[in-house]
Each structure stands twice: as structure tokens, then as C-alpha cells.
Structure 1
Amino acid sequence: MGAFPNTQPLFVSLAQQLRDRIAAGEWSRGERLPPEATLAATHAVGINTVRRAVGMLVDDGVVVRRQGSGTYVSARWAGTSPVIGVIVPSHSYYFPTVVEGITEVARAAGVTLRIVSSEYDDALEIRRIRELLAAGCSGLLITPTLHLTDPTARLDLLRALPIPVVLMERMPTDSPPDDGLSAVCTDVVAGGYAAVRHLARQGRRRIGFLGRRDTATADAALRGYRRAIDGLTLVDLPDAVVRRDSWDEAALADYAHRARSAGLDGVVCLGDREATALLPHLRRAGLSLPDDLALVAFDDEEAADAPLPLTAVSPPKREIGRLAASTLLRMLGRGGDRTPVRMLLQPVVRERASSARAQPRVLQPLA
């Protein structure tokens, strides 16, 4: 048979090949597959690889095992793969890695994806949802624009959809304890806390915060920062906490002078682009990094490519996609387990030149 791709485990590739053979009609519904030993010899793999591949097909409802008899194509299998809709706010920043995680799981399960972007446009997001429903999608993975619209109305709309929905990187707030929406998200509060703790471990005591007000993670990152300032008994500097809808050159220059006059020795910056733009202004204000002041960015999209590589809080983007897709596939699987799931994944701090002279290393997640 065909060669296996070297980018995924053998059993995943074998499962897809067997699925394709079933879809092509090589074995019809109710027909028994060849014995595992025969499949192993045909595909030049070990018996354990065959068992794991067949196990994936069992989990997906493609085949059924009958003790003492063999493995049969499920009588319920329709022969076509489900279609999952994916709506993310951007095709270019942050979310491509999330989509990679989704794609990895979907490919292994033989699922077709329809991936579209809302472009952070509330009205376009509504159209995208309608288009995916009209296209016959069986389930929806979505990062909704909750910070740009009435979040209650948008969440109510998603709850009312006739297909299962899993939110990504957006956790419903102020919802009832028995809310049925599932969500897989980065723990942004933990990320803000970890950024401050990273600086505090280096002896930094006067730490400011520069951020945006109009992003979905803005409030949570600030909460994490404030919890760390209080919990680690650092100097509370309200005037060093500044948030704006956007940061132009004049505002960045003002913050750099504020940092110098306040004697800051650390800054947490949301996000990468703002931190990169702040660098020349800090130098013009007479501050040397990381000797006088250490800087930690948030998102880790462009931090490593900054003129001075930036230490950054790095969300587990690929794993967010993997877990969200796996959760939705469980809902779509045989039996349709719709048990709501809420997952918070902790980010790590990737240390670079903006906060330490040491070689880059990945700090452990928060305990």
C-alpha cells in the first residue's frame, strides 16, 4: 500500500488509509475487515499499530469489534466524513497556530474542515455562522467577538444553534453555573501573573503595565498582573499602569519617560507589537534593557523577531486547537456525548534578551 507520511504517527496514518478504503467501498457496511495480522502484513506495520488504528475507527463509529468474531464496518456508518466549521478572528495573527492544532486532529479523524475568518467584524461573524450552517456543518469551533458586541446576546445565539459548539480562547463570563457551552482557553490571568513573577524572581520590584483596552484578553491580563503585585508584595505603582485603545508614538514616548521618572525596573506589555514599538522609546529615555529595565511581552507571536528578542508569555495555541477539536469530535461521535467542558490551559514564559542575558529557556507553568 501507499507510504505513510512521516509527519504523524503510523497508527494515525493507517487509520486514515483504512477509512479511505472503507469509503471507497472495498468493505461495505456490515462486512468484516481482514484479521489484524493480515492488515499488519499488508501495510508492513506491527500488530500494535493495527490495533491502535482500528481502535481510532471504533471510537469514531466507523467499525465495531465483535468479540470472538472480528472487526466489522459499522452498519450505521454513512461513508462520508463530517464537516466541521471553524471561525477565527484572524488568518494572520495568533490563530494560524490554533488552526494547525485543529487541522492535525481533524486530519487524523478523517474530518473535513471549513475554515473562515470573522476579521474581528461582528456582522461578518453572524454571516459566517449562517454560511457554515447552510453548508451542512455538523459542529462549530469558534472564537467569537464577545468584546466587540453584546456578549450575552452572542452567547445565547451560539447556545441556540442546532449543532454542537466549542468556544476557543473565549470563556463565557457571568453565565449560569449550568451553562452548556464548552470552551477551551488560555488562562490569561495566570499569564499576567507569571509575567510579573518572572520579573520578581530576578529581583525586580517596581513593575509597570502597558496594555490595550480593546482586546479580548486585556482585562484578564491586567487582573493577573494586579494579583501578582499584591500576592508577591511588590511596589504598587498605579501611575505605571496605563492602558489605551491604541498606542501611537507620542503615547509610547510618554510611557517611556514615565517609566524612567517612576524608577521602573520591569514592564509587562500587552502585546508583542506594543512591546516592540516601545523599545526605541525606552532607549531614548536613557533606559538600557535588561540592565535598567526588563520587558515581558504577551502573545509570543513576533517577540522572538524583535530588534531585541523579547521575553514573552506564550499561550499554548496549538494545544488549544487540538483540545477544542477533540472535544467537538467527542460530541459528534457515536452516542453524542454533549457533556459541557471548560478547560483552562496555562501559558509559559519564554525567556529572551529583554529580561535576561542567559540563553533562552522555557520556564515551568505555574504550579
Structure 2
Amino acid sequence: MTITAEERRSQILEVVRDLRTVRVVDLAARMGLSAVTVRRDVAVLADDGLLQRSHGAVSLPRPKPTAAEGADRVLGMLVPTVGSYFDEVIGGARAAAADAGARLVLAIAPYESADDRAQVGQLLDSGVDGLLLTPNWRPAGGESGLWTGGLPVPAVLVERRPPADGEGAPLDSVGSDHRHGVLLALRHLAALGHGSVLLVARADTWTAHQVRAGYAEGTALLGLEPQPVIDIRRPGVDSEAVAERIAEAAARGVRAVLVHNDQDAIQLPPLLRARGLQVPDDVALIAYDDVFAALAAPPLTAVAPPKRAVGAAAVELLLRRLDLGSSLPVHRLELLPSLEVRTSCGGAGEAG
């Protein structure tokens, strides 16, 4: 006897309620129906909000917390700065928290301060249920900027990954794979014909350390001739000296540059033009971060870490940790950056 579409979908819901999560192919076999028919019915049920699809499986949608329930769950977030890069990370975290009915509370411990512990203490004193932490770990100092062992609430590291032998090793972490981001930039420049690429970077942040490590790994992997890193000791201030170093390298035939980050990269085209070098005709330029790079003249090709997605994923992981506790394995999530190709590296790349 042929059953109607409504009857099929009702049976699908019954099976999913019973099994909680089931692959579509297994659902079709269980019901004696073709996979095509079941996928079509599942699509209708998902569009109606009755099922949730993910990677070939279906489950019941998670109920959204009520406003009253959400008010009981407060997430504290420690960042080293607001503005530019971390605005997008915070935005992603804030949206994910709101979607889950939770509330986000922000604390700031600037890069130059040693204020991590006090700021985390303030968050804990305010009664947060969990923590999203971006501590001021120095490349050489490891975790010295923050005590991370024995925190009284669950915590997720954001844009940080703890060393395996440190106090933070048991913590979950979510961040961008900055080494992969550097490799994307180097590979693009190599494809344009550049045999050497300059790296201009800070040295005082954890992310800068990852960018530098990615440069060393990437040049070796791609067979590029490594160059001494041009240090930015005073971000936004050292641009004249950096431009002079780039001009000296260009005179030796090295005409491709990766700059961490946007703020310093944006200042370089007019300074290079004053030295007789046009971007991109004479020098190919890529920025790292992609916060303001598209607004430069010319618009800068840029490595774009998935900033909003990192914030959102960190909140989602923290909420799972709050729900499941120690039964959830420790997670290390690294999201891959993308390369946004614009005008600034369209030069011929004739040397290097």
C-alpha cells in the first residue's frame, strides 16, 4: 500500500525522535524507501524547522533557550584590545551567545599590561559561568601572562593555543591557523614568479610569532629564498624605516612583501612611491589581517583569518563544555584563513 508524503514524513520524525541522530542512508534503509525520496522529505521537514541536517545526518533541532533561561548563562570574554581585529572576533562571539540565549561580558587587558589575572578575577567575581580567554602570552614567555591552571569555571582559549606541557594544556582552544595563512600568501606570490618574499612583522604578540614561524616553514616548503625579517618595533610609527628597508631589498631584486598587519601595510604604498617604487608595478604587497586592507590605495591583497567564525565557534564550544563537562574531549579547533586577492600584488614578479 502506498503511503502519502505526510505519512512518510511523520514516520521519519518518529524514527529521528527514537534514534536522536541518524544518517539519511540508514534512515532510508530502515524505512524501505529510496535515499532520494527520504532526502526530499528531510529537506521539507528541515525547511519547516522540524529537523536539523548536518553532514549527511539528521537530528531533532536543539530547542532555543527562553530569555529567562539565557539570563542565567553568562560568558566572560578577555581580549587584549578592542577595535580592528578583535572587534570581529567579539562580534562573532556576541552573535553566537545571543543566538543561544546567553549574555557576553567583556574585559580588556592591553598587550602592554600585565593585567590578565586581575581582569579574569573581575570576570569570575561577577559570576560568569564560563570564560573565553585571549591571554597576553609572549612568544618567549609561554603562558607567563596568565595563570590558567585550576580555573573554577570552564574556559576556552581564543586565538591562542597552549603548549602541551603548560598549565593551559587541558583547556579547549579555538583559533586561526596563522601559519597556513602565511603559506597562502607565499604560495600566491611564488605563483606570480617571485623567488623571494620579505616579511615585515611585529615580534611582541603570540600571533606575530605564529606569522614568523609560518614564514620560516613556508619559504622552506616552497623553495623560496628566505630573507631577514624586517621588525616592526613601534606599530604605526616605524613605517619610514620599513619603507627604506623594502626599497633596499627591491634594489637587490626582492620585490614581494608580506606585512603583518593592515595598519602598517596601508602606510607603505605612498612611502614606497616617494622612493620610486609603485605598488603593484614595482613591488607586490600583501597585508595580514584584512581588517582595513580593502580600503587602501591601491586595495591590498590580504590574508583574512576567519575572525567572526573564531568568536562564534569559541562560544559554541564553551556552551558544549558547560553542558557536557569532562565527558567532552578537549578540543583544539584551528580554522583556516583565506586569501583575498586585490590590486596590490598584480605585478609581474620578475625577480626575487
Alignment CA distance shift 1:306-1:324 (3 Å):
same
Task: Report the RMSD for the aligned CA atoms in angstroms.
Answer: 2.8
- For 1:173-196, what per-residue CA distance to the aligned partner results, in whole angstroms no more than 9, with x for missing partners? 252699311110111111111111
* Matched residue SS, 1:333: helix
Specify which of 69, 84, 106 is matched with residue 93 of structure 1: 84
- Superposed CA deviations along residues 203-261 of structure 1, whole A, max 9, x for unmatched, are 122321111111222222122222222222223334xx311312524412421321222
Q: Measure, in 2, the Cα distance between the counterparts of 1:244 and 1:149.
A: 17
Q: Give the match for residue 63 of structure 2.
A: 57
Instruction: Return the letter of the residue paired with 1:109.
Output: A
What aligned pairs does 1:176-215 form with structure 2 within 5 A after superposition? 179-215=169-205
Match of 2:321 in 1: 331
Cα distance in 1 for residues equivalent to 2:247 and 2:344: 18
CA pair 351-47 structure 1, distance change in 2 beyond 3 A: closer
CA distance in 2, matches of 1:348, 1:176: 30
Q: Give the alignment of 1:107-186 within 5 angstroms.
A: 107-147=98-138, 150-154=141-145, 157-175=147-165, 179-186=169-176
Aligned-pair CA distance for 1:324 = 0.5
Change (3 A) 1:98 1:149: same
Does the 8 A contact of 1:256 with 1:278 survive in 2? no
- Alpha-carbon distance in structure 1 between the residues aligned to 2:107 and 2:332: 24
Native 8 Å contact 1:193 1:224 kept in 2: yes
The answer to whether the Cα contact below 8 Å between 1:86 and 1:114 also exists between their aligned partners in 2 is yes
Contact 1:122–1:149 (Cα < 8 Å) also in 2? no
Amino acid at match of 2:315: A
Counterpart secondary structure, 1:99: helix
Contact 1:90–1:120 at 8 Å: present in 2 too? yes
Residue of structure 2 equivalent to 1:244: 232
Deviations 1:268-321 (A, max 9, x none): 111111111221222122222212221011011111111211111000001101
Letter in 2 for 1:189: R
Cα shift at 1:87? 1.1
Q: Secondary structure at the match of 1:146?
A: coil
Partner of 1:19: none
Distance, in Å, in 1 between the alignment partners of 2:70 and 2:87 is: 30
Mind listing any 5+ residue stretches in structure 2 that lack a counterpart? Answer: 1-44, 53-58, 348-352
Q: Tell me if the contact between 2:138 and 2:204 (Cα under 8 Å) persists in the aligned partners.
A: yes
Within-5 A mapping of 1:278-357: 278-333=268-323, 337-356=327-346
TM-score, normalised relative to structure 2: 0.76
Q: Which runs of 5 or more residues in structure 1 are unaligned?
A: 1-44, 63-76, 358-367
Judge conservation of contact 2:250–2:283 (CA < 8 Å) in 1.
Answer: no
Report the AA paired with residue 259 of structure 2: C
Is this contact kept in 2: 1:269–1:275, CA < 8 A? yes
Once the 2 structures are TM-superposed, how far is the Cα of residue 46 of structure 1 from its aligned partner?
8.9
C-alpha distance 263-180 of structure 1, shift in aligned 2 (>3 A): same
Say which is worse superposed, 291-300 or 216-225, in terms of deviation. 216-225
Tell me, what secondary structure is at the counterpart of 1:57? coil
C-alpha deviation, 1:96, in angstroms: 1.2
Asked whether the 8 Å contact 1:118–1:124 carries over to 2, the reply is yes
Instruction: Quote the sequence identity (%).
Output: 34
**CA offset digits 1:7-26 (Å, max 9, x no partner):** xxxxxxxxxxxxxxxxxxxx
- One-letter amino acid of the counterpart of residue 350, structure 1: E
Matched-pair contact (CA < 8 Å) for 2:240–2:271: no
Partner Cα distance (1:207, 1:347) in 2: 19
- Cα separation, partners in 2 of 1:184 and 1:197, compared to 1, 3 Å: same
DSSP-derived class of the 2:162 partner: coil
Change (3 A) 1:191 1:172: same
CA distance 1:223–1:352, shift in 2 (3 Å) = same
1:274 aligns to 2:264 (yes or no): yes
User: TM-score scaled to structure 1, two decimals?
Assistant: 0.73
- Aligned equivalents of 2:140 and 2:120: distance in 1? 15
Report deviation, 1:159.
Answer: 2.4
Q: 1:179 to 1:214 in 2, by over 3 A?
A: closer
Q: How far apart, in 2, do the equivalents of 1:110 and 1:224 lie?
A: 38
8 Å Cα contact 1:252-1:277 kept in structure 2: no
